[in-house]
Amino acid sequence: MECLDLTLPTPEENLAADEALWEAVEAGGAEVLRFWESSTPFVVLGYANRAEREVDLAACRARRVPVLRRCTGGGTVLQGPGCLNYTLALRIEERGPTAGIPGTNLWVLNRHAAALGALLNQPVRRRGETDLAIGERKFSGNAQRRGRRALLFHGTVLLDLDLALVAAVLPAPSRAPDYRGGRAHADFLMNLHLPATAVKEALRRAWQAIQPAVAPSPARLAELVASRYGRPEWTFRF
């Protein structure tokens, strides 16, 4: 597997880069592990989320926090400093662990739980369908998109995200795992307070992602931003 540590200048470009990496594997390219972390806060909706239900749009406008939409499922999250993102663009193996959605979730998250548990020297558990948690507190949410030959699996690792800002711009989600138990963001989410470099190295080792990857084409990123991630018609499609 190849590795790409690349944060682009804008939220729109960073979302586009994940899709472009998935497209490359779908076309027969090498599998990739990418890391990125936005320098500015923004909200990102899951593919099928309704902005009016999942986001306090007035609070976002008042705080100048952009609202965007990604191409994968899952819930709505706040991105920004202290939120490390990872991206896996993987081949789909018909008889392997990536053959279906539940198996892929299990395979990826169990690997991450083991790697991060060893780093933290305490148990990390897979909770709900796509969360990682310590005890009853979530620090990682994840989602995927599948094509014919490849899948995009990406997620967050909360290191030092502003959880007060999460509470200010995101109401309680419309769907939540049972273990949340109706808790507010401040009582449900947690930061790991680890250096990003340590988490990256743990995940690199877990995936044996050694060779450097080639960044997506700037032309393709511009196309995706112009046609999708930079368009209000895409963000507010529901």
Query: Would you say 127 and 112 are in contact if contact means Cβ atoms under 8 Å apart?
Result: no
Verdict on whether the full-model pTM lies above 0.85: yes
Question: Do residues 3 and 210 make contact, with C-beta atoms less than 8 angstroms apart?
Answer: yes
Domain positions in the chain are 2-235
Length of the chain: 238
Say what angle helices 196-207 and 101-120 make with each other, to 10 degrees.
130
> Quick check: 131 and 14 in contact, CB under 8 A?
no
Tokens of 71: 């191409």
pLDDT value for 28? 96
2-235 CATH fold: BirA Bifunctional Protein; domain 2 (3.30.930)
**Distances from the Cα of 31 to the Cαs of 65, 91, 155, 198, 208, in angstroms?**
33, 7, 16, 22, 11
All residue ranges of the chain with pLDDT < 70 are none
Q: What is the pLDDT of residue 200?
A: 98
pLDDT given at position 127: 95
pLDDT at residue 238, rounded to an integer:
86
What is the structure's pLDDT at 171? 97
Q: What is the 3-state secondary structure (H, E, C) of 26-50?
A: HCCCCCEEEEECCCCCEEEECCCCC
Alpha helices by DSSP H, the chain: 11-26, 51-54, 57-63, 101-120, 163-169, 185-188, 196-207, 218-224, 232-235
